Structure 1
């Protein structure tokens, strides 16, 4: 299943069900009409920041774009069950994607946190665009080394290191020196 296509389809369906035009969504989210059209039509793989802005306008959780079913009780995610992925771009100038997200809670209803195991692909890109959105993020490096650009600071995190930050500050998360890595990330976005 190509979960990347599900995101665009769900955004379009939610927007249309609320009788919000693409122009209104663009204006209220601060995104370009063309960008939203490309996301809805599965032409572009969005980064998390525009998805969070779209979710806020539509009044839904970020996870709504990933959900297939809803469980009100606890949700277990066994190691072998976290195989299905969704890819997001990394806001690099020349790259379409660099992170594969494995949702650890996709069936949990009414959640406020989005936990992911993320495979960070090696990349030669070094020209990253920082982005911001409401909420908070927690990242723990499981394998490899990560570089976190946060405001005017840069942090290098090695295996076992973690960082917790306010995501309203412009930031970018990428593998250090373009090497592959794996991280646990928990993203909180207020609805």
Structure 2
């Protein structure tokens, strides 16, 4: 989509706040970007974040959730819950963090707010200098401009609903 819009890696990096090297790694499939990076890239490209997933990935997510998760990464997977939310400020995702896994990417930090609800399992979340452990049925709402990191410290998968608001 970057090429279709005739944007260089540098231009997309400048618009999204990501480095050109990170954009290259994402395009090559070398790294799986976190939800926050997908939202930044989609906003820079002026497209819906769901458009960054291939048709095959979207079909798999709808038909075979578990298989589509396994295709994303071993530690972390997500599926958009707000399809066709092009140019909307709020996006929701179903996120699964595999057992005893911290996200392998850098800590997250993006403009806006974030709400996380634990559907299943346990979540250790650090926001700024504070860390909380959330259990099934608990939630947290925070300023996502603060550095935040998610971790699943338990031997079973954690499932979350993550709602991200970006101005």
Same structural fold, with TM-score higher than 0.5 when normalized by the shorter chain: yes
Residues 105, 30 of structure 1: CA spacing in aligned structure 2 closer, same or farther, 3 A cutoff?
A: closer
Q: Distance in 1 between matches of 2:25 and 2:164?
A: 24
Shift in Å at residue 109 of structure 1? 5.2
Could you say which residue in structure 2 is the equivalent of 1:123?
Answer: 100
Shift in Å at residue 127 of structure 1? 8.0
Residues 35, 122 of structure 1: CA spacing in aligned structure 2 closer, same or farther, 3 A cutoff?
A: same
Shift in Å at residue 23 of structure 1? 2.0
Q: Does 1:176 align with 2:153?
A: yes
Could you say which residue in structure 1 is the equivalent of 2:52?
Answer: 65
Residues 139, 83 of structure 1: CA spacing in aligned structure 2 closer, same or farther, 3 A cutoff?
A: farther
Larger displacement relative to structure 2 (119-128 or 149-158):
119-128
CA contact (8 A) 2:125 2:149 kept: yes
Give ranges in structure 2 of 5+ residues lacking alignment: 56-60
Q: 2:25 aligns with which of 16, 38, 43?
A: 38
Q: Does 1:103 align with 2:80?
A: yes
Larger displacement relative to structure 2 (179-188 or 27-36):
27-36
CA contact (8 A) 2:42 2:48 kept: yes
CA RMSD of aligned residues (A): 3.1
Task: Kindly name which structure, 1 or 2, has the bigger radius of gyration based on alpha carbons.
Answer: 1
Could you say which residue in structure 2 is the equivalent of 1:55?
Answer: 42
Shift in Å at residue 136 of structure 1? 1.6
What is the CA deviation profile of residues 105-136 of structure 1, one whole-angstrom value per residue up to 9, with x for unaligned ones?
32455543222222220135598742201122
SS in 1 for 2:3: helix
How many residue pairs were aligned? Answer: 160
TM-score (norm 2): 0.76
TM-score (norm 1): 0.68
Q: Distance in 1 between matches of 2:52 and 2:82?
A: 12
